[in-house]
Structure 1
Amino acid sequence: MKYIFFLFIIILFLYSCKSDKIEYKPIGYFHSEYTMKTGAPRQGVLEPETKGQIILYEKYVAGLDVIDDFEYIWVLYHFNKAKGWDAIVRPPGSHHAFGVFATRSPRRPNPIGLSLIKIDSINRNILYVSGVDIFDNTPLLDIKPFLPSVDYVYSKKNKDAEIFLGHHDEDFINDSLVKVFVTGENK
């Protein structure tokens, strides 16, 4: 009986050591004029004149080597303002609800954002960018170059889905819609 108890404790210990946890550390943060109160463009590429800065932490500066040869970059970031997630969401401006994976909602199981942003200039660890749709002080996870030869695929099916989802050139999302969409408050 003593050995069974001891074996049970070992199994319990080993099971508790097992972890599905994935941990990311920010490489920097985003600086922009956008807050939860002001709202942000629905998609930065639809508002190309919007400006911001990517502030990269010093230890990652060498990783920017040759990035200035690219005009556009993909930026991955953490939706740090999102609270929880919903399997079904209704994007601002849409009259329909959709599965979260058919949208770009920040309220996701893993709140990771993706934006295509234009590089205007670089000064050491600061990238001056345009086509911005990211809130101020958003933690950055990664930067990748936009490669037109592999990052673009025309699809009639996707275009029809975008229209149905309500993705269209809209002005800025107003502050109450941002609060509901990002935090889930006032549902």
Structure 2
Amino acid sequence: MTGDVPEFVVREGEVALEIDPAALPGDGHVVFIGHVASPWLRRQDCPKNTRAARETGRPATVIVDAPYRAGLRGLEGASHVIVLTWLDRSPRNLIVQKPRHASEAKGVFALRSPLRPNPVGLHVVRLVSLDPDAGELTLEAIDVLDGTPVIDLKPYFATVDSIPEATVRRSGE
């Protein structure tokens, strides 16, 4: 569904790049290994994060394309996986954004917004079931639109991926 990007209005305090990164020649060869089948068909219906997606109680599925299914071997022991997605319907030209809930604008790298120069989504999700032969991973939930391309899958290791003391200091604190 790449290319189906709705127009976005730049809000007060936001800064757009002079050139849209989507128009630049690629410098890496990213391959999509599959896609997400989710209940979210429209951006306005899609939960804003994985926690909100879990709260809906609506599962999703990652469908891995046939050539990559052998790569699922050994993943059946994982309770959670990291899914890297390409947020193909997100604009790529805002470098400073003002989220509706924020009092001031911030640089894109200080936000979790899908609007970024390289719209890579990172999702830590609970793996409900895995069918390696069919290339299907049933997930508890995920916060992406139906048809979103998948770049990669990785097992989540709580012993190395979790950093309980991590913080983000908010402006004015």
Both structures adopt the same fold (TM-score exceeding 0.5): yes
Q: Which residue of 2 aligns with 1:126?
A: 136
In structure 2, relative to structure 1, the CA distance for the partners of 1:96 and 1:35 (3 Å cut) is farther
Gaps of 5+ in 2: 1-24
Superposed, which structure 2 residues align to 1:1-187 within 5 Å? 21-48=27-54, 49-123=57-131, 124=133, 125-155=135-165, 157-158=167-168, 160-161=169-170
Task: Tell me the alpha carbon deviations over residues 131-155 of structure 1, each in whole angstroms, 9 at most, x when there is no partner.
Answer: 3111100000000111101111123
Task: Tell me the alpha carbon deviations over residues 50-99 of structure 1, each in whole angstroms, 9 at most, x when there is no partner.
Answer: 31000000111111111110111111011100123211112343333211
Does the residue aligned with 2:94 lie in a helix, a strand or coil?
coil
- Greater helix percent: which structure? 1
Whether the aligned pair in 2 keeps the contact of 1:45 and 1:116 (CA below 8 Å) is no
TM-score of the two chains, using structure 1 as the length reference: 0.70
Task: Tell me the alpha carbon deviations over residues 161-183 of structure 1, each in whole angstroms, 9 at most, x when there is no partner.
Answer: 4xx6xxxxxxxxxxxxxxxxxxx
TM-score of the two chains, using structure 2 as the length reference: 0.75
Highest Rg: 1 or 2?
A: 1
Q: CA RMSD in A?
A: 2.1
Task: Tell me the alpha carbon deviations over residues 85-130 of structure 1, each in whole angstroms, 9 at most, x when there is no partner.
Answer: 2111123433332110011111111111111111101123111111
Q: Which residue of 2 aligns with 1:6?
A: none
Partner AA of 1:93 in structure 2: H
Gaps of 5+ in 1: 1-18, 165-187
Q: Report percent identity of matched pairs.
A: 26
In structure 2, relative to structure 1, the CA distance for the partners of 1:126 and 1:156 (3 Å cut) is closer
